A and B are shown apart, each in its own frame.
Chain A
Amino acid sequence: MGDESSCKVYVSTAAEFSADGFLRPLWIIWKDGRRFDIDRVVQVERAASRKAGGVGLRYTVMIGGKRHHLYYEDNFKWFVEAKSSV
């Protein structure tokens, strides 16, 4: 929770609701302002993140050719697991 040692990072996320109700993240903005486009959503499932400490819909996404996890929490916020302390 905003703790120094936490690797849970909330990010601004642009997402799209399709006409049939699917929610798909399009890009995220890292805290330094850089924008990362999401090339593809590989999988969506409900999952907990032990590492970052949170629960929600886990989007497995491809960003720049790499696989990442982007979580959509029940409090309507998006977070990612950072590699190390940030």
Chain B
Amino acid sequence: MKRTILHSDMNNCYASIELLHRPELRGKPLAVGGDPEARHGIVLAKDQLAKKAGVKTGMALWQAKQVCPDIVFVPPRMDLYLRFSRLAHEIYSDYTDRQEAFGIDESWLDVTESCSLKGSGEKIAEEISRRIKKELGITVSIGVSWNKIFAKLGSDYKKPDAITVINQENYKNIVWPLPVEDLLFVGRATKKKLNKLGIYTIGALAETDSDILKIHLGKVGMILSYFANGNDNTPVCYQDENAPIKSIGNSTTTPRDLTTETDVSIIVWLLAESVSARLREHHFVGNVVEISVRDKDLFSFTRQKKVSLSTNITSEIATYAMELFRANYNWQKPIRSVGVRVSDLQIDTAPVQLSLFSDQERRERYHRMDQTVDIIRKRFGFYSIQRGIMYQDRKLSALNAKEDNIVHPCGYMQRGNLTGVR
């Protein structure tokens, strides 16, 4: 049976929400950007006017000011955007229980089952668009098609506040003339390879023999051929279904450059606290600890090590991370950002082989201490209890890594390859 899939994309999400809440700024070019004081100084989102002036997401704030001198910067309010995202999901859930978020502002909805009640996919899209405008005060672009890939292309096709239906009759006219890099999974490198084969449009890709694509691009070639022909079978998953977690990590750009080992260790302990708290929250222990370091010239590297006993204990994760850091950094340059990650996860109730050479009683004490800190923080707030090291530099340690970084980019195939390509 043909599916009916919508892809809904909130137009200029962050900027639109800010403009809704700040009527006095409407009509001016606006960018939502990190706090220049805390040096997260890039454009996260912009409105239509700023976009027209040439402001791009990811630009440094000073660059944005150069191309658009009238621009107004506002600091991001993630909690507000998450609230809007949640409200939008509540609206979507009136139409289907198969809705899958793709980032904070995009969602796929499989409305196949509601079509008998509500009419066509287009009708449902119109109703959703109307409700979002009225109830949330912002606009969406919606693509309607029979597969997720074309639905997404549809929502990108016309913006803002538009609905594009891509069906069997018109897909060759709408989708095929689009440049090949508009397709999901075609990044810079793949685009180059395809261009070399003389493939510049999605249509050309669709008409290329899939065996040729396989020879040049491997399995991705087959998948892209499927995508271009509208044969992608990847389902929209149920709303409360989460992809299996493979690792848990946090990273941060620090409020100032780190120049000493104490600086680094403050940040590493902060991140380790966040990572270990999240591991415990999800009942995981991990066997691999990884650090990533980026210096002030944006050169970065990651190093990892396997640990002898699987862990979610803050002090162990921090100690391993610092060992990795000391062994791999030579302090030629100050550091701009640091990350800590734990992977190779297993459930924390799995039986463990105790080691003769480790003090298990001590480990359990540390574990109980971490749990106690979790409870105190849950009841009285993150800053109610802090480690002594955090008092070495209050500006650096003013970071709440666990609560501040909760939006994660996600991949189309995080649940595995379900496209239908074998």
A residues neighboring B (CB under 8 Å):
1, 3, 5-8, 45-55, 74
Contact = CB atoms under 8 A, between A and B. Distances in A.
Contact of B24 (A3, A45, A46, A74): A3
Contacts of A51: 23
A55 B135 contact: yes
B87 interface: yes
B22 interface: yes
18 contacts: A1-B22, A3-B22, A3-B24, A5-B23, A6-B23, A8-B23, A46-B87, A48-B135, A48-B137, A48-B138, A50-B20, A50-B23, A51-B23, A52-B23, A53-B20, A54-B20, A55-B84, A55-B135
Contacts of B24: 3, 5-6
Interface string B111-147: 0000000000000000000000111111000000000
Nearest to A46: B135
A53 B136 CA distance: 10
A71 B21 CA distance: 14
A6 B134 CA distance: 20
Interface residues of B, number: 14
* Interface SS of chain B: helix
Interface of B: 20-24, 83-84, 87, 133-138
A1 B133 CA distance: 22
A53 B22 contact: yes
B21 A54 contact: yes
A74 B138 CA distance: 17
Given A1-B21, A54-B21, A74 B83 contact: yes
Contacts, number: 41
Q: Looking at A6, A45, A50, which has the most chain B CB atoms within 10 Å of its CB?
A: A50
A3 B26 CA distance: 14
Contact of A55 (B22, B23, B87): B87
Q: Looking at B22, B84, B87, B135, which has the most chain A CB atoms within 10 Å of its CB?
A: B135
A47 B20 contact: no
Contacts of B136: 48, 55
A51 B21 CA distance: 9
Contacts of B20: 48, 50, 53-55
A37 B157 CA distance: 50
B83 A53 contact: no
B21 A50 contact: no
Q: Looking at B23, B24, B87, B134, which has the most chain A CB atoms within 10 Å of its CB?
A: B23
Top 7 A-B pairs, shortest CB-CB distance: A48-B137, A46-B135, A53-B21, A53-B23, A5-B24, A48-B136, A50-B137
Contacts of A1: 21-22
Nearest to B138: A48
A20 B135 CA distance: 25
Contacts of A8: 23
A53 B22 CA distance: 6
Given A55-B87, A74-B83, A47 B134 contact: yes
A47 B135 contact: yes
Nearest to B17: A55
Contacts of B135: 45-48, 55
Contacts of A74: 83
B420 to A, nearest CB: 39
A1 B135 CA distance: 20
Contacts of A55: 20, 84, 87, 135-137
Nearest to B90: A46
Given A48-B136, A50-B20, 16 more contacts: A1-B22, A5-B23, A6-B24, A8-B23, A46-B87, A47-B134, A48-B133, A48-B137, A50-B23, A50-B137, A52-B23, A53-B21, A54-B21, A55-B135, A55-B136, A55-B137
Nearest to A74: B83
A50 B136 CA distance: 9
